[in-house]
Amino acid sequence: MAATQILRNLVAGICLVSARLMADIHPPTLVLPRTVDAGEQLLSALACADCHQASPGAQVRLMPRTGPRLGADGPRLTSQFLRQWLQNPQAIKPGTSMPDSLHGLPVVERADAIEDLTHFLMAAQGANTNSAVAADPFKIAQGRKLYHEIGCVACHSPVDDRDGVSASEAARLRQMSVPLGDLSRKMSVPALAQFLRDPLKSRPNGRMPSFNLTPRDAEAIAMYLLRAQAIGLEDPSKAQKFPGVRYQYFEANLRDEADFDKVVPTISGVLDDFRLKPRSREDEVGYRFTGFIRVTEPGEYTLYTRSDDGSRLRIGSQLVVDNWGEHGTAEKSGGLVLAAGDHAFQLTWYNGGGESSLEVLWQGPGIAKQRLPKSALFQMSAPMEPLGGENFTLDATRTSRGRERFASVGCASCHEVRDSTGLVASRWTGKPLNDLKGQADQGCLATSVKAGLPKYALSPEQRLALQETLRRVEQLSQLLEPAQQIDHTLARLNCLACHSRDSMGGPEITGKSPWFAVVGDADLGDEGRIPPHLTQVGGKLNSNWLTNVLQRGVKTRPYMATKMPVFGNANVGALPALLEKVDATQPAPVDPTFSNRDVKAGWKLVGAEGLSCIACHTFGRHKSLGIPAMDLTQMHQRLRSDWFQKYLVDPAALRPGTRMPTFWPEGRAVNRDILNGETAAQIQAIWAFLSRGAKADVPAGLIRASKEIVVGKEPVIYRNFIEGAGSRAIGVGYPERTHLAFDANDLRLALIWQGSFIDMARHSTDRGVGFEPPLGDHIYKLPVGPSFAVLNLPDAPWPTESAKAMGGKFLGYTLDAKRRPVFHYRLGDVLIEDLPEPKAAEFEVSLQRTITLKGSHPGTLYFRAAVGDIKPRPGGGWLVDGEVKLSIRGGATPQLVGKELRVPILFRENQAVLIEEFVW
Amino acid sequence: MNTISTRKHLMKLWSAHPISASPTTRKAVAAVGLTLQVALALAMGSMATASIRAASADDEAAYYPMVTIPIPQGVVLEAGGIQVMPDQRVAVSTRLGDIYLVEGAFQNPPSNVKFHHYARGLHEVLGLTTRGDGWLYATQRGELTRMKDVDGDLRADLFETVNDSWGITGDYHEYAFGSKLDPDGNIWVVLCLTGSFSSEIDYRGWCLRITPEGMAIPTCSGIRSPGGIGTNSLGDMFYTDNQGPWNGSCGLKHLKPGTFMGHPGGNKWFGLAPNLGKPSAEPVSNSRWHIEAKRIPEYLPAAVIFPYNKMGQSASGIATDGTSGKFGPFANQLFVGDQTQSTVMRVYLEKVNDRYQGACFPFREGFASGCLSVEMMPDGSMFVGGTDRGWGARGGKPFALQRLLWNGRVPFEIHEMRARSDGFELTFTQPVDAATVADVASYKLSTYTYLYRAEYGSPEVDATKPVIRLAVVGADGKSVRIVVDGLQEGHIHELHLPGVRSTQGKPLLHAVGYYTMNQIPSGTR
């Protein structure tokens, strides 16, 4: 490799060896295109032309990168940070391009200058927003995920490891990442969140792009980046009172409030009120909220909960509202006298299944019955605030002296600061850029930089690159070719950290590929996680769409975790036209007027009766039948028709490794039925259909209609994933319109219901994902866990292990003359035949189950008939949960043990018969 | 191989790519001023130079015509398993859990075909076989079941669970594919992982073989996502595994008992398999399979890789031609379906240092749906069942059952492709023209491999261009020895034969072969 190439790589950031010393400036770009000169890139990145006046031509090429705006338009910084930073920028943020401009001053004067500048900048910032916020472990975890997934680590250093990345490779990647420095003293969570929401406001050069973050996501990332501030998380004594409530979210069966203490919360954190989010499912979930209710007016108060299912509110140790139990939205209340002040509370809520809600209301002196307002809710949390906090009092003299220095030292050349008197103008200038030609080893580039000049932490290689470029500085005035302009922009904005173009760049080259992830489990391979290549992108995308993407960050690949950020019109506005000029071989073709016949043929081709594009592609708001490939209704808006035509014939030629198959291999149509199998006509028809965009008619086969299995004269078996009956469920639909599901994993009758049997649409479309519940009503769920167990004592706890673990084995079923299944299974040496038979009567539906057991076993075998609220019925039998009438014949007398109904089984000559009947 | 050289190869890969090069094409396009037809013509023209598969379905049909079996209205025949019964009815199982007995399936034309609804409501049956004793064995997601029609009404009424040693969580990805009987009467079951990466319940990512007595023997670990399973002519069991984590491209893998197939996601179940001893060592991500195979003795890389996009995208069912010539010149070779491309590929296997490796070739395209089950019948016809549900397929029909026949005409094809220490030996199905076959300019050879890595799939990497020094026509006039400088261990060797002609002056029907060189044979000739 030529020496110049090694140099280019070093300056560009592809460190073949770890050559960058900690004190050197971080390379301004991760991947340097071949046409971009490393020295020129540095001149641009260090904003040399901010001090050294450049010719108008060079000014355009270098696009001097100004430092961040400071003051009111900049990020809110702390005084303790500013002071330390000005003392030695490289020590705080190794790799920073901020020079030391005070290095020549005597120690005392230097300290004085730093103090003046700090006062000036603090004054320019205005009111302090560096306030403490409550540390929230959940938000920190969320921020960590976002930081590693949305694209931050394409430029910045990943913190979390990824499989297959060695420690030495990880260290290399850290070193070649854009440094963040120690942020913990620098900013507060709100200040950093504010910066992250609109980085272009304080850094208009676009090198820190905007990800269009929501306030919530920005706060989460800020909390993660400032996690060192959350020192109180492990130490309750550091807790402070903040607005909001603390929550714990549980995923478990929580019908008994004591169960809350038996399970570990899935998520804990802080919310501003009793919102039932975050929540990843609907059934068997619970929340426990704690905090303080602030009372300003003492007196008699009534508190209410309105919930579905149950809730309980305690104030202090007193149970005030008891709204427990499974029910639809129901309101309960309780009264008490409250003194002025903060009152600790605990609110528990759970949902067994179905719909859910929670509201808390109050009524008191001067307060009509209303929702408990957020303003009355407080909680104790560990505070997060910038470390090294100090009481800072502005000194007017220092402030005005600082303003002077800011102008005279040259800070104002790079940093815009606007204060009450307007923009601070720099009074510091260097020699014009063209005059540096013969002096490339002097001034800021001298080995020993003189006092008064900014001192950059350049590596020897970087200094050499700058000197080489300055030797032919007049060339910088020449206008760049469009292709070079593109390369310059891609380099300046680090586009090549995520995208490859013409064999340059992309995550595979930078080594960050393992951090590019797919959302959820979308089965899309690398296409699902690596941002698309940009080779000839100007010949692929319409320039309008490119503008859209660059200026608004439109997301067309919802499955890709990395987001396309926004770089600002000033920085990328010229790119769409340049890309079109360089990449496209002709102007974008204009569509002819499409006939209705074309559109209709296209509709047919896209749908299930044609090529079934919808098997993989999303269509507007309709999910595809398989993987979530890109939305078809956006294709026409995005793509040029000439690219589309070439792509359909040979997708892998334009996107190597794509999962998109061709339906015209070698240009010959696979489908011979539509449009006589003519390739050009078929592709034109699809394009015509797609030109309808969001107005296009939904292709056939996309909308999943219900597919109820209607039971005819014979019973119907349906083995599949049935909700409530497990992954090896055997559903049986009977002509009597009474149905059941047997769980072949746990060897138990799991569900019985009436009416309609089941909808098989879920399992017969797409990939058949998920569990399907019964379709009918009167659904009774039988006890979860083994149905039979050998117990030493009648009231011994019922075992919880699986039937399989207890020696159970499913043997199959036989269909009797009426084609009703008889289930066969084995428990140890006992063989069991289980015959359910629906009995249809005019008004009452019942199911009779005959269980025949053969064999022998040690000890007493019990059958657990029911679990729940069980009451004996007058005249015999039992009532379960107030709904199901149950009778059992054949065994010994059933025993009620707690909430369980157990039947000891009586064997005679190694045989026993139990007859169980359900009426419900 | 370190990452830097990988990157270099990536760059090479890209720059060799038509879109980043080809200024001539660009100019040509610019000069013409496009109409839609011209654009297409150009797109196809530029492809033709890099063409892999010159033959169309019509060309192939001149030797292997296809019969489409009519499916009655209301029957959704997403065929996952096919088994001919002693009475010549063909049992076909479906993803929706039905089993039909198809009567008259061997008719040509199929004018009087009847479907009997033998069983319904089973759980995604991807494997059917019989011992000829009245029982039909079906591999469901959660168990191996056998069933029988006791009362003779062509409907099964006895369903016995033969084995259910493995678990299912309810994740759709947890498929189970069942084999035919092996020489010992066992049925082998390959179990898809829970999703692409992990195994959440017993034996997911494993192969079990179920004895005639219903016992499960843990047999192989390291499985990702099978698409089919079947034996070769010697009774050795193979399955197809699909592109994804630890599978850079789809491949055909030999289920040699005690070996590890490459995906470590299921290694946690070694505790359930004391017969296999200690878990095999974890592979290193971003390595190459031939390197890891030297490090991990139990690891058996794919015998044949199906290069992604070029050959297929979702390898599926496996059938071996054991009909001694009734299906044409490819006796004892393997045929493997591809679901995405609706094709059947052909595989020639040989053993090098006691491990299988070999070549794959295009064979037949143009099936109506995504090929899933592939079954060779004793009469020398091949049944292919298809589905495109959940995974799109080129064929375009939601499901299909088709039968491929050989009409007695012999296509001019590569017959076998064997590795030699210094090149290859190829045999052909017809006598060859000595002049073109002996000309090294008749061939184009390139090599590449895929990353063996935890991430999903892989680009082609480490590309090389070996030089063909010599091509010598065999004494039989139907073979050639190709001497090559620069064979690459662990690489796919992609050999195009655009110049080769038969004595009748015909080009090859499919002028390409992809040889997976896991090991370069030692020895001289």
Which residues in chain A have Cβ-Cβ distances shorter than 8 Å to B93?
none
Query: Per-residue pLDDT averaged across A316-326, rounded?
Result: 91
B287 in A contact zone (CB under 8 Å): no
Identify whether the C-beta of residue A669 lies closer than 8 Å to the C-beta of residue A589.
no
Which structure tokens are listed for A653?
């030629």
Question: Is the pLDDT assigned to residue B53 strictly greater than 50?
Answer: no
The string of pLDDT tens digits covering residues A781-810 is: 999 989 999 998 989 999 988 888 888 999
Residue B476, Cβ neighbours under 10 Å: how many? Answer: 10
What is the complex's ipTM, to 2 decimals?
0.89
End-to-end CA distance of chain A: 83
A513 vs B161: CB contact, 8 Å cut-off? no
Query: Per-residue pLDDT averaged across B83-100, rounded?
Result: 97
Report chain B's mean pLDDT, rounded to a whole number. Answer: 90
Distance CA B410, CA B174 (A): 41
Q: How many residues does the structure list for chain B?
A: 525
- The runs of H, that is alpha helices, within B392-506 are 434-437
Q: Which of residues 145-164 of B touch A (CB under 8 A)?
A: 145, 156-161, 164
Question: Is the pLDDT assigned to residue B124 strictly greater than 90?
Answer: yes
Question: Is the pLDDT assigned to residue A639 strictly greater than 50?
Answer: yes
Q: Which of residues 20-79 of B touch A (CB under 8 A)?
A: 20, 26, 29-30, 33-34, 36-37, 39-40, 42-44, 46-48, 50-51, 53-54, 56, 76
B2 in A contact zone (CB under 8 Å): no
Query: Per-residue pLDDT averaged across A296-309, rounded?
Result: 94
The string of pLDDT tens digits covering residues B294-351 is: 999 999 999 999 999 999 999 999 999 999 999 999 999 999 999 999 999 999 999 9
Distance CA B14, CA A534 (A): 12
Pairing state of beta strands A422-423 and A417-419?
antiparallel
Distance CA A746, CA A810 (A): 9
Least CB–CB distance from A727: residue in B33, B169, B395? B169
**What pLDDT is recorded for position B32?**
33
Phi then psi dihedrals of residue B395, to 5 deg: -55, -40
A130 pLDDT band, cuts 50/70/90, is low
Phi then psi dihedrals of residue A342, to 5 deg: -95, 130
Query: Per-residue pLDDT averaged across A865-888, rounded?
Result: 92
Q: Coil, strand, or helix at residue B278?
A: coil
Least CB–CB distance from A670: residue in B11, B140, B396? B396
Q: Which of residues 430-449 of A touch B (CB under 8 A)?
A: none
**What pLDDT is recorded for position A28?**
73
Distance CA A752, CA A778 (A): 8
The rounded percent of chain A whose pLDDT value lies above 90 is 61
Pairing state of beta strands A357-364 and A318-323?
unpaired
A1 pLDDT band, cuts 50/70/90, is very low
Which residues in chain A have Cβ-Cβ distances shorter than 8 Å to B126?
none
Query: Per-residue pLDDT averaged across A210-236, rounded?
Result: 90
Higher pLDDT, B7 or B37: B37
Strands (E), A121-251: 133-134, 240-243, 245-251
A652 vs B124: CB contact, 8 Å cut-off? no
Higher pLDDT, A68 or B39: A68
- Pairs of residues, one from chain A and one from chain B, whose beta carbons lie less than 8 Å apart: 239
Which residues in chain B have Cβ-Cβ distances shorter than 8 Å to A658?
309
Residue A579, Cβ neighbours under 10 Å: how many? Answer: 25
A670 vs B395: CB contact, 8 Å cut-off? yes
A731 in B contact zone (CB under 8 Å): yes
B43 vs A649: CB contact, 8 Å cut-off? yes
The string of pLDDT tens digits covering residues B21-31 is: 333 333 333 33
Phi then psi dihedrals of residue A367, to 5 deg: -120, 110
Q: Which residue of A659, A668, A814, A831 is the best one to mutate when testing the B interface, meaning the one whose CB has the most B CBs within 10 A?
A: A659
- Which H/E stretch holds residue A315? strand A311-315
A539: nearest CA partner in chain B: B19
Chain A nearest CA to B471, separation (Å): 29
Q: Which residue of B391, B448, B509 is the best one to mutate when testing the A interface, meaning the one whose CB has the most A CBs within 10 A?
A: B391
A763 in B contact zone (CB under 8 Å): yes
**What pLDDT is recorded for position B524?**
55
Burial of A909 (0-12, 13-18, 19+ CB in 10 A): exposed
Q: Which of B377, B359, B250, B255 is nearest to B315 (CA)?
A: B250
The one-letter amino acid at A767: R
Least CB–CB distance from B286: residue in A164, A503, A763? A164
A814 vs B158: CB contact, 8 Å cut-off? yes
A668 vs B56: CB contact, 8 Å cut-off? yes
Distance CA A714, CA B386 (A): 30
Distance CA A782, CA A750 (A): 5
Distance CA A17, CA A32 (A): 16
Which residue matches tokens 């197809």? B240
A657 vs B459: CB contact, 8 Å cut-off? yes
Identify whether the C-beta of residue A744 lies closer than 8 Å to the C-beta of residue B122.
no
Chain B nearest CA to A502, separation (Å): 6
**What pLDDT is recorded for position A460?**
87
Q: Whole-model pTM?
A: 0.75
Chain B nearest CA to A888, separation (Å): 29
Which residue matches tokens 């049956």? B125
Q: Which of residues 101-130 of B touch A (CB under 8 A)?
A: 120-124
B395: nearest CA partner in chain A: A670
End-to-end CA distance of chain B: 30
A12 pLDDT band, cuts 50/70/90, is low
Which residues in chain B have Cβ-Cβ distances shorter than 8 Å to A525?
243-244, 456-457
B44 vs A163: CB contact, 8 Å cut-off? no
Least CB–CB distance from B456: residue in A504, A525, A666? A525
Burial A450-473 (b: 16+ CB within 10 A, else e): eeebbbbbbbebbbbbbebbbeeb
Burial of B185 (0-12, 13-18, 19+ CB in 10 A): exposed
A36 pLDDT band, cuts 50/70/90, is confident
Report chain A's mean pLDDT, rounded to a whole number. Answer: 90
Identify whether the C-beta of residue B145 lies closer than 8 Å to the C-beta of residue B137.
yes
A666 vs B14: CB contact, 8 Å cut-off? no
Every domain of chain B and the residues it spans: 58-404
Q: For the ranges A109-113, A278-282, B253-257, which has the lowest average pLDDT? A: A278-282
Question: Is the pLDDT assigned to residue B388 strictly greater than 70?
Answer: yes
The string of pLDDT tens digits covering residues A157-189 is: 999 888 778 888 888 888 888 889 889 999 999
A746: left (phi over 0), alpha (psi -120 to 50) or beta: alpha
B396 in A contact zone (CB under 8 Å): yes
Q: Which of A119, A78, A48 is nearest to A404 (CA)?
A: A119
Identify whether the C-beta of residue A701 lies closer than 8 Å to the C-beta of residue A608.
yes
Higher pLDDT, B494 or A231: B494
A770 vs B459: CB contact, 8 Å cut-off? no
Distance CA B57, CA A498 (A): 41
CA A414 to chain centroid: 37
The CATH superfamily holding the domain B58-404 is TolB, C-terminal domain (2.120.10.30)
Q: Which of residues 80-99 of B touch A (CB under 8 A)?
A: 95-97
Residue A884, Cβ neighbours under 10 Å: how many? Answer: 18
CA dihedral of B106, B109, B112, B118, whole degrees rounded to 10 = 40
Q: Which of residues 660-689 of A touch B (CB under 8 A)?
A: 661-663, 665-668, 670-671, 679-680, 683-684
Question: For chain B, how long is the longest CA-to-CA vector?
Answer: 76
Distance CA B404, CA A82 (A): 79
The one-letter amino acid at B267: N
